[in-house]
Amino acid sequence: MKRFILAAGVAALAISAPAAAKPGGGHGGGHAAKAQHGGGGQAKARGGSKQHAQRTAHASKQRQAPKQQHAQKQQHTMRMAQSHGPSKAHAKIKERGHAPVVKMAERKHGNDRIREVNRDRNTRVAIRDHNRDADRFVDRRPSRDRDVRRFANYDGGRWIDRDFAGNRNVGSCPPGLAKKHNGCLPPGQAKQLIGNRLPLAYRDSYLPVRLRDYYRDNDDYYYRYGDGYLYRVNRENNLIAALLPMFGSALGLGTQFPTAYSNYGVPPYYQSFYPDTRDSYYRYANGNVYGIDPRTGLIQDVVPLMAGGYGVGQLLPAGYSAYNVPYQYRDYYQDSSDAYYRYAPGAIYQVDPRTNLVTSVASLLTPTGFAVGQPLPMGYSAYNVPYQYRSQYYDTPDSMYRYNNGYIYQVDPTTQLISAVIRAIV
Amino acid sequence: MTRSWLTLGAAALAIAASGCNGTKDGGNGTVADGNESGGENKTIAASLDANSKFVQAAKAAGLDATLAGPGPYTVLVPSDDAFAKLPDGMGDSLMKPESKAELTRILTYHILPGTILVDDIGKAIDQGDGKTVLATMGGDTLTATKVGGNIVLTDSSGGKATLSGGDEQASNGVVHHVDSVLVPKKAA
């Protein structure tokens, strides 16, 4: 029995097409399961190109044809069969009572073959077959009883990726590789990839939606994701320029902040940076501060803190491409062809302009900002003015002086309020 | 110790290049300015023993360049013995690449903003009726108290370290020595 029911697929198109609401999504977008960022509907997937050709012929008869370029708005839904054990490969695609699933694309993932199929308008699945020979049986169970996991949901205008276990996540590690701090690859192997060709399997593995704002493809580089790593690839030669482990924290933009962490407030020292507001409240986990939309509980901002976040050797996210060094340090840290300087809470980082990798921490900054009129933050009761200024600025009953992030501040001893910025000393 | 000299040279150049970085002598912190102790003209990075555990840890975390930067920082340097005292072989496991985040967290817990001398801590303790809280670059705080004439620091995990020597002046801050590694409490 054929596993791929392409003929039925055509029927499925006909059936589901009219149901597609606004962004018809174009079945032409059927390549990689993940909606393509800025791909403009080009069928880059190997499997997808065949589909594309086939579908185009039929698509032209449908309303969605002109909208094929809006790959991100696909209305395809696929249901994914999770093969938990090596022997449980689910071959069955067609089910009673449901529109048959359609093979949209196929790609290899290690020893597995993954077929991505649309299940219904809002669900997309990938069926992973560990062993081609094993899947000869037909599974006639209704879909909800099947061992199926949704791979991505179309929700609120975008696809939210889930891992093979149905959790909102970046992706899962191949069986056998523990989820380590540094992704699924054994540590040594990851480094060796730099300078090598991007593995073919990842060519079409576009970034999870939530990362695309941070890492945008451009004329020089494109970004792909695989096995817990984000790959930055040189367009000229398809060689990996850098890679960034994404698995340290499964929490990212657009994902649900776990309720288990909801009491983990931001450490006191960061609170002045991240005060809770009506539109966003902040929690801290895994070395990151998360800005959360109070209405939906979804993460809308991720700020990696020094200790767990951008470290030396990591890739600077796209959002930091502009020079943003705080004023008091600008004379000291200027961009040059040898080094760029970028600020993120907690530090000024030195970045290699060629690779965008953080090469060192140029300067540490305290996360707490001082502001005139505000109380002196906790932890500054000890006099800390640098040597060169001590003879000039010393504590008296009338005024205190404290140093923070490049400035000396005057503080009123009675009220403990910061009364003035005295000078910049960098 | 060629490396020290090279770092010193680099630091001197960096200081010279920075322009308005007034040192006490009004010059740019080069050796020739004739300051009494050579320490004032070396950065913290240059003044520390390159073979010490602390410096190796700083290198592993990518913070060695930081301690050669403008700062100024107050650095609490645990002795090599202090690293050995860490439980469960933590002293060694921290140096591994996968522990970099944790190592950075611990190291930044030993770096305080500005230049705080031992006396300054003492005064703050007195004014605080026996204890004071110190901010660190990592974000967590240390509590300082006086015990029998020594300054004792308590970290947020409950561990204690005694200041065993300090006020080693550098061009970009000051170095004190502690006899234990301070460990911030677990983040999440």
Least trusted range by pLDDT, from A38-47, A154-163, B86-95, B138-147: A38-47
For CA atoms B69, B75, B81, B85, give the dihedral sign: negative
* Separation of alpha carbons A284 and A211, rounded Å: 19
Q: Residue B134 domain-assigned?
A: yes
Structure tokens at A60: 């032209």
Q: Residue B188 domain-assigned?
A: no
Helices assigned H by DSSP within A77-169: none
Taking the CB of residue A144, how many other CB atoms lie within 10 A of it? Answer: 7
In the predicted model, is pLDDT for residue A349 greater than 60?
A: yes
Residues of B in contact with A390 (CB under 8 A): 115
CATH number at residue B146: 2.30.180.10
Better-predicted residue by pLDDT, B1 or A314 = A314
Least trusted range by pLDDT, from A49-53, A284-288, A354-358: A49-53
In the predicted model, is pLDDT for residue A333 greater than 60?
A: yes
Chain mean pLDDT for chain A? 62
pLDDT score for A200 = 73
Interface of A with B in 396-425 (CB under 8 A): 402-405, 425
Taking CB atoms and an 8 Å limit, are A284 and B188 in contact across chains?
A: yes
Confidence band (pLDDT; 50, 70, 90) for A229? low
Structure tokens at B3: 């490396």
Confidence band (pLDDT; 50, 70, 90) for B139? confident
Provide the residue range defining the domain that includes B150: 47-178
Q: Looking at the complex, does the CB of residue A93 fall below 8 Å from at least one CB of chain B?
A: no
| Residue for token pair 């009004």 | B26
* Separation of alpha carbons B184 and B109, rounded Å: 7
- Measured in whole angstroms, the distance separating CA A70 from the mean position of its chain's CA atoms is 21
Q: Which amino acid is at B13?
A: L
Taking CB atoms and an 8 Å limit, are B105 and A248 in contact across chains?
A: no
* Separation of alpha carbons A155 and A121, rounded Å: 11
Structure tokens at B107: 């190291």
Closest Cα in chain B, distance from residue A163 (Å): 23
pTM: 0.50
Confidence band (pLDDT; 50, 70, 90) for A361? confident
Q: Residue B34 domain-assigned?
A: no
For CA atoms B177, B112, A339, A353, give the dihedral sign: positive
Q: Which amino acid is at A122?
A: N
Question: How many domains does one find in chain B?
Answer: 1
Structure tokens at B99: 């522990």
Taking CB atoms and an 8 Å limit, are B22 and A182 in contact across chains?
A: no
Domains of chain A with CATH codes: 6-161 (no CATH), 187-245 (no CATH), 259-304 (no CATH), 318-364 (no CATH), 369-426 (3.10.450.160)
Residues of A in contact with B117 (CB under 8 A): 383
* Separation of alpha carbons A279 and A285, rounded Å: 20
Taking the CB of residue B141, how many other CB atoms lie within 10 A of it? Answer: 22
pLDDT score for A135 = 34
User: Per residue in B20-70, pLDDT tens?
Assistant: 443 333 333 333 333 334 567 889 999 999 999 999 999 888 888 899 988
Residue of A nearest to B105 (CA): A307
C-alpha dihedral (A338, A343, A344, A349), degrees to nearest 10: 30
As a residue count, chain A comes to 426
* 8-state DSSP, B67: G
In the predicted model, is pLDDT for residue A319 greater than 70?
A: no
As a whole number of Å, the CA-based R_g of chain B is 17
Q: How many CA atoms lie within 13 A of B171 on its CB side?
A: 35
For CA atoms B92, B95, B97, B99, give the dihedral sign: positive
pLDDT score for A47 = 37
User: Per residue in B143-160, pLDDT tens?
Assistant: 999 999 899 999 999 999
Least trusted range by pLDDT, from A214-223, A271-280, A365-374, B53-62: A271-280
pLDDT score for B183 = 93
User: Per residue in A17-58, pLDDT tens?
Assistant: 444 333 333 333 333 333 333 333 333 333 333 444 344 444
Q: Give mean pLDDT, residues A244-253.
A: 51
* Separation of alpha carbons A3 and A136, rounded Å: 8
Cα end-to-end distance, chain B, whole Å = 42
Q: Residue B150 domain-assigned?
A: yes
Q: Residue B78 domain-assigned?
A: yes
pLDDT score for A39 = 34
pLDDT score for A213 = 60
Cα end-to-end distance, chain A, whole Å = 74
Non-local CB neighbours of A68 within 8 Å, separated by 6+ positions: A26, A27, A28, A29, A41, A56, A59
Which candidate, A209, A4, A171, A19, places its Cα nearest to that of A94? A4
Structure tokens at A196: 């090598």
pLDDT score for A410 = 96
Sheet bearing A347-351, strands edge to edge: A340-344, A347-351, A358-364
* Separation of alpha carbons A284 and A80, rounded Å: 33
Closest Cα in chain A, distance from residue B113 (Å): 6
Taking CB atoms and an 8 Å limit, are B140 and A305 in contact across chains?
A: no
Q: Residue B40 domain-assigned?
A: no
For CA atoms B87, B88, B90, B92, give the dihedral sign: positive
Q: Residue B39 domain-assigned?
A: no
Better-predicted residue by pLDDT, A216 or A53 = A216
